């Protein structure tokens, strides 16, 4: 049996990292600001290859591309350097910075828990217009690439994914990794969950931008861990490979690359990210336990199917059904670039109602799906969406379940649960002040039985990606959004008996932004 199929590891990690009323109060953790990790990975000996700063403006309506489930393949869909730069900037680039007494904060295009930015991006490409074939590290700090390998190594990546079609035919594949210490510095053992939330938020932006540039894109999570680590030059212990994003399509034959055994090691100097990084064995253990060690593991992963019991287990309608209020007319929408540029994480909600039509649009655009190797076509995904509606015009307050097959919200219990929403989100006012707070919940037992421990990664990644789509749709409608953490078992208990046996993956609140209090 491979490590991936020994699912006790995923259960052990999930249960170990639960939040509860008692655990939060017993927590004596404090932030050691003198040991805070740098948000940038720096190769001091490598020359930067500047990316074009005059961004290609697609002017694509944000709500259209956020809701895109993917672009169809045609013979040749290859980005040039300018379009690649656009996707990198609007998914993982620095969009604004703010000076303060202790230094400067650099805010990125996608939401990130605690503004800690653990995600690194690598580019594996063939020859593109403006960029020669190679393996590159993307540096958001100076908006540049640095060449780690010279030549076409896409075949190495294709073999690592057991010949996954989208990767094998992609002119460019982005490799997303996470430097754990950036998150564990604040979130400690629970940070592995955050790695995928943060990666998913970046993926949501990248998928929207790929659609805006009319490029097919697919999230790929089935790959041989050690091969990808070696290709981009990471240790797989402190920096972890999380996912791939295959971009574009070409029918040109893929050049043979070296075998993984013949691939040279990458040993460029990297500036330490802090004085004394702290190791968290629980994260290394769950990452190892959910790693795929050979192409047979990858094929097993890819051939797994989602049992019909997942998501559809609660098929009988019990409560009142409220169909989404979707307009037949096109909804005015700013360009995706403008929406991403102004996106932030709402720090205060105004406790004002938002129209049901806005809520409906946010749910509809976020839940249209995306292309991923762990999702079957026409699948509604691994996560169920529950919600506490606090203040929505045209929708009674209460607890709801989103019925994806019917495109409707089912009322589970009526009432004002805004105080409960605040409690469930670690007693943060945001959860109760928002117009609605969404809870992403998974039948984890069925997911792990189907996909092994790696199913835990997929469930978290999907939650982050759909949550990222909610963020973008909210800002496209000039609303606010923020991601929140939660009291795990209390969330399940609140939505039970309907949610009995399910585990919460992520919480996202949306609503009308309020002015921040100035002290």
Q: What pLDDT is stored for residue 306 in this prediction?
A: 72
Can you tell me the distance from the alpha carbon of 443 to that of 271, in angstroms, rounded to the nearest whole number?
Answer: 42
CA-CA-CA-CA torsion sign (37, 342, 121, 197): positive
The beta-strand segments (E) located in 238-327 are: 239-247, 249-250, 321-323
Nearest to 34 by CA among 102, 99, 100, 98: 102
Q: Is the pTM of this model over 0.75?
A: yes
Quick check: 184 and 283 in contact, CB under 8 A?
yes
Query: Which stretches of the chain score pLDDT less than 50?
Result: 1, 309, 311-315, 517-519
> Which residue intervals of 290-433 are DSSP H helices?
295-303, 336-342, 356-366, 418-424, 429-433
* Three-class SS of 118-165: CEEEEEEECCECCECCEEEEEECCCCEEEEEEECCCHHHHHHHCCCCH
Domains and CATH numbers, the chain: 43-303 (3.40.109.10), 321-511 (3.40.109.10)
pLDDT digits (tens, 9 = 90+) for 308-337: 545 444 445 567 899 999 876 667 789 999
CA dihedral 109, 111, 117, 119 (to 10 degrees): -80
Q: Which residues of 361-394 are buried (b: 16+ CB within 10 A; e: fewer)?
A: bbbbbbbbbbbbbbbeeeebbbbbbbbbbbbbee
Can you tell me the distance from the alpha carbon of 302 to that of 176, in angstroms, rounded to the nearest whole number?
Answer: 19
The helix/strand count (H/E) of the chain reads as 18, 20
Q: What pLDDT is stored for residue 256 in this prediction?
A: 86
Return the percentage of the chain with pLDDT > 70, whole number: 95
Q: What pLDDT is stored for residue 296 in this prediction?
A: 93
Quick check: 211 and 167 in contact, CB under 8 A?
no
pLDDT digits (tens, 9 = 90+) for 461-497: 999 999 999 999 999 999 999 999 999 999 999 999 9
Can you tell me the distance from the alpha carbon of 451 to that of 457, in angstroms, rounded to the nearest whole number?
Answer: 10
Quick check: 23 and 308 in contact, CB under 8 A?
no
Place of tokens 């309907």: 498
């Amino acid at each position: 049996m491979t490590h991936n199929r020994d699912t006790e590891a995923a259960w052990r990690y999930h249960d170990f990292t639960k939040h509860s009323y008692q655990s939060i109060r017993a927590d004596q953790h404090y932030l050691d600001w003198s040991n805070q990790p740098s948000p940038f990975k720096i190769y001091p000996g490598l020359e930067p290859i500047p990316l074009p700063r005059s961004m290609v403006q697609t002017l694509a309506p944000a709500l259209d591309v956020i809701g895109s489930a993917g672009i169809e393949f045609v013979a040749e869909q290859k980005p040039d350097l300018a379009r690649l730069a656009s996707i990198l900037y609007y998914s993982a680039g620095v969009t604004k910075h703010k000076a303060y007494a202790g230094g400067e904060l650099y805010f990125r295009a996608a939401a990130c828990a605690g503004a800690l930015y653990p995600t690194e991006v690598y580019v594996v490409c063939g020859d593109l217009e403006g960029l020669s074939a190679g393996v590159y590290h993307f540096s958001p700090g100076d908006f540049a690439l640095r060449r780690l390998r010279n030549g076409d190594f896409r075949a190495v990546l294709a073999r690592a994914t057991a010949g996954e079609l989208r990767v094998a035919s992609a002119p460019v594949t982005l490799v997303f990794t996470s430097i754990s210490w950036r998150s564990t510095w604040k979130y400690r053992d629970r940070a592995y969950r955050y790695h995928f939330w943060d990666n998913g938020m970046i993926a949501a932006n990248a998928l929207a931008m790929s659609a805006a540039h009319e490029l097919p894109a697919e999230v790929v999570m089935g790959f041989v861990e050690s091969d990808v680590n070696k290709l981009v030059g990471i240790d797989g212990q402190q920096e972890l490979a999380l996912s791939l994003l295959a971009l574009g399509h070409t029918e040109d034959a893929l050049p043979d690359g070296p075998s993984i055994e013949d691939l040279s090691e990458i040993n460029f100097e990297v500036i330490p990210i802090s004085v004394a990084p702290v190791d968290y064995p629980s994260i290394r253990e769950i990452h190892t336990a959910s790693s795929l060690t050979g192409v047979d593991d990858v094929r097993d992963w890819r051939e797994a199917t989602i049992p019909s019991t997942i998501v559809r287990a609660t098929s009988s309608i019990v409560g009142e059904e409220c169909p989404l209020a979707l307009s037949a007319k096109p909804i005015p929408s700013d360009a995706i670039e403008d929406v991403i540029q102004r996106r932030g994480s709402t720090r205060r909600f105004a406790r004002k109602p938002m129209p049901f039509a806005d809520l409906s649009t946010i749910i509809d655009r976020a839940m249209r799906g995306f292309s991923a190797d762990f999702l079957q076509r026409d699948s509604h995904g691994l996560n169920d969406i529950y919600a506490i509606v606090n203040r929505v015009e045209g929708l009674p307050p209460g607890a709801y379940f989103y019925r994806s097959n019917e495109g409707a919200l089912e009322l589970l219990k009526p009432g004002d649960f805004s105080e409960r929403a605040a409690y469930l989100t670690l007693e943060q006012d945001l959860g109760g002040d928002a117009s609605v707070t969404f809870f992403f919940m998974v039948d984890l037992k069925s997911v792990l039985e189907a996909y092994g421990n790696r199913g835990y990664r997929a469930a978290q990644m999907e939650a982050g990606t759909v949550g990222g789509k909610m963020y973008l749709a909210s800002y496209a409608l000039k609303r606010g959004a923020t991601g929140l953490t939660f009291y795990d078992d209390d969330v399940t208990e609140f939505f039970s008996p309907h949610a009995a046996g399910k585990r919460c993956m992520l919480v996202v609140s949306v609503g009308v932004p309020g002015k921040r209090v100035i002290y």
